[in-house]
Amino acid sequence: MSKLIEVKNLKKQFENGDVITKILHGVTFDIDKGEFVSIMGPSGSGKSTLMHILGFLDTLSEGQFLFEGRDVSKLEDDELADMRSSKIGFVFQAFNLLNRSTTLENVMLPLLYTKVSKKERIERATSMLEQVGLGHRLDYSPNKLSGGEKQRVAIARALINNPDVIFADEPTGNLDSKSGLQVMKLLQDLNEKGHSIILVTHETYTAEHAKRIIRLKDGVIESDKQVLKRQIADNNDTLLK
């Protein structure tokens, strides 16, 4: 299986005048295409900083980060922006939906500044919403949706450009247990269809839906292990109905 991400001795620090705060202290790991990986750790472990670097939202201080074999530190800003829009899909805890727009319009947003025609934007967004079980909610505004439905809209939006990898940052953090299971089942299904998923969470139960867990503590990797048995709810088959 080909490499999606290669990280070698990655370090990150923030500087504020004479004050230097070190966050990551030499992190090394690889992620293959098609993997479902959880990056797990308590607050302050560096997991969110690491996700921002892997998603081209921040830069490393030292070390090396290769994405599909390309050295990210050598890319120009416009190249990074292009890769961020075409290669990466983001799903956030807070959903980040526009309340004055319909679910269909929210999912189409990443395509607005592309050469894709309006007709194709509508067709692709409709297809994405149908894939996440929300084909009957096209004209609903987000304030008429449940928390779980909002997160599924966010996942549909993340998929609209057919990205190489989906980053999910605490995707169940604002959801009740049933809605959280629906979202995790959906991410598992997407992974089974070939999508690479990188999940960032502090919750053990959520992390164990992945196939592999990288645990961070105080800016270093504490462990990197395969999940022997993925956690699936007994009523998974009915969760998205």
Tokens standing for residue 152: 């599924």
**Mean pLDDT for all residues in the chain:** 90
Question: What number is the average pLDDT over the span 184-202?
Answer: 93
What is the C-alpha separation between 184 and 204, in angstroms, rounded? 13
User: CA-based angle 108:152:229, to the nearest 5?
Assistant: 135
pLDDT per position as a tens digit, 91-127: 988 889 999 999 999 999 998 878 889 999 999 999 9
All structural domains of the chain: 3-226 (3.40.50.300)
What is the C-alpha separation between 96 and 114, in angstroms, rounded? 20
Q: Are 4 and 32 in contact (CB under 8 A)?
A: yes
Predicted structure pTM score: 0.88
